[in-house]
Every structure is written in structure tokens, then in C-alpha cells.
Amino acid sequence: MWLVLSLLAATSFGLRGILYHWTSQQALNRNALLCGVFFSGALITLVCTLATGSAFTVSSLIGVQMGLLSFGANASMFKGFAVGKASIVAILTALPSAIVVVVAFAVWGETLNMAQLSAFIIIIAGILLVRYSNDITRGNLQGAQWGLLAMLLFAGNDLSGKWSTLMDAPLFPTLVCMFGSGSICFGLWWLRDLRSMRFASLAAGQAAQEIAAGTATMSGTAGITVGARNGTSSQSAKPVAASAAKAANAAGLAIKRSWSFRRTFSVGMAVGITNAVGMMFIVTAFDVGKAGLVSAVTALNVLIVLLYTRFVVKERFSRLETIGISAAFAGILLMRLYGS
């Protein structure tokens, strides 16, 4: 049963990764989008809580910790997709299972056999090949750093999810706390961005007025000088004003192309459906299976993202990257096949 639930969670998170990659390329506010993602999750799980009659308990507050970790992990993954290479970020975010297995063994006594250890070595070797491939650039390295941070935070989130099941925390109230705290974090961050944008807009407006006033003054002066010398009008200054007008129009069009908050938040709520469903599946899987194995199978969501980046985004892999990606997948599969 845990395997089916884990695969369903992997599918949900894979779709989430694709949507994150697509939205990261759009002209929108990241924090407004992720606020919508978590708000949608909070709304869905709250409805489920009321429908099932589940009660909030002290143990359900573990969801707040999960929300804070997920807040950092999702922000890091989204940032990695925006500034780095999607395949590298996707691979790194597939590796929390390695950390989860080790911590689960040390804290809860979940056994770590030789097959799991071998799988970890293969996974690490694959990541090193990806990291040191000839195709790595400064932008890719930056993406890898964000992917590494996301990996650590996702591992903490998985471990917190397993902990909630050990504490018999009710599923839906715990997820309400998780998504609620995450939406608050992203909402506050978005408000900070909005305030910064307003200050920047005021400064840009003042600068535009000063430039316009300076252009008008220069045009008038040029017209008077040319007219005095050649008996002509100030028409020669019109190209300057026309250029300024074109620049202003171009800036206006760029602003219009940016997504509004309502559109961004709405798309975020749609993406949040995949996130909420995935969390329901994975926490339930943690309740009936070993944390490391559930996390490892769920990590297969990267396969969906990689297929998307290869066949839709048309992102090509170097030879070392291909070998590294294959090795990482082999390690995850070994962990699945021989980890029980």
C-alpha cells in the first residue's frame, strides 16, 4: 500500500515541478504565486478537516514546522529553476531520501542495509558527475546551490511528516497548519516585495519626470539656437523627443506584460492542488511504510520533470550529465528494489 501511495505522491510532485518550472519563466511575483500555492493547500485541507470531523491536537502543530521547512524548500526550488539549469535542480531535489534514510536509522532505528548504502554511493557519484560536468556554468552552479538547499529542507519536511505520524497527529489538521503557516510566510514576503515595488515605482516616476523636463529644455534650447543661426524651427529636436517617447512606450508595454497579483495568485492556487494532493499521499505513506523508502520512491517525481525538460523545454544533457543523471536514477531504483 505504501508503494502505491508513494508513486501517487511522486506523480503529484512531478506535475508540481513542471508547473514550477513553467511559472518560473513568466513575468510574475514568485512570492505571490507560492502564497497562492500554500493558500490553496490550506483551503483544501481545511475543507477535508471539516468534512471528516477531524480535531486539532497539540501534535498537529508539527504542521507548523513542516510549513516553515516547506516554505524554504519551495522558495529555493523555484529560485533554482529561475536562475539555473532545470535538470540539475530537479536531480538535487530528488535526493532528500538519502538524508531521510540516514536520519531515520539514527533516530528511529529504521535499518540501513548494504543495498541502501550502495544506493547512496551511486546517487552521490551521480550528483558529483552532474556537478562537475563540462556543461556547468556560473548560472548552473547557482541553480545547483539553490537545489542543494531545497534538498536539505525537503528532507527536513519529510522527516517532520514521519514524526507527525509517529505522534499520531491527525492528517488534515496537520496539513492545515503546514499550508497555513507557509501561506503566511509567503504572504508576508509578498507584502514586503509590494512595498519595495511601490518605492521603486515612485523613484522611477520622479526620474522619468526629470528626464522629460531635461529633454524639453534641451529641445527648446536647440530649437532657438538652430533657428537663430539658420532661420529654421525647432523640428530638428523632434527625433530626441520621439526616441524618449518610444522608450517610455516600451517600458509601459513591459509593465503591462507582467502578471497581475490576481492572475498570479489564481495560478498559484491551481498549482497548489498538486502540492496538497501530493502531501496527502506522502504523509499517509509515511504512516504505513518506512520513511526512507517512501521518500526514495517519491523522489522518482524527478523523472517526470526531466522528461519535461528534455522533450518540451528541449534542454540537452552533456555526456557527463547523462551519466550522472542515470547513476542517480539507478541509485534511487536500487533503494526501492533492495531497501526493504
Q: What is the pLDDT of residues 27-65, one digit of tens each?
A: 888 899 999 999 999 999 999 999 999 999 999 999 999
Give the per-residue pLDDT at 229: 45
Tallying the residues shown for the chain, one arrives at: 340
Give the mean model confidence (pLDDT) for residues 169-196. Answer: 93
Chain centroid to CA 194: 20
* Per-domain boundaries in the chain: 2-110+137-195+261-315
Annotate 280-317 with b (16+ C-beta within 10 A) or e (fewer): bbbbbbbbebbbbbbbbbbbbbbbbbbebbeeeeeeeb
What gap in Å lies between CA 285 and CA 188, rounded to an integer?
32
Q: What is the pLDDT of residues 130-141, one digit of tens each?
A: 655 544 555 555
pLDDT class for 250, splitting at 50, 70, 90? very low
Cell of 321: 550529465
User: Whole-prediction pTM value?
Assistant: 0.74
Question: How many Å from the N-terminal Cα to the C-terminal Cα in the chain?
Answer: 14
What gap in Å lies between CA 103 and CA 80, rounded to an integer?
25
Give the per-residue pLDDT at 273: 96
Give the mean model confidence (pLDDT) for residues 170-196. Answer: 93
- The yes-or-no verdict on residue 169 having pLDDT over 60 is yes
Cell of 20: 514550477
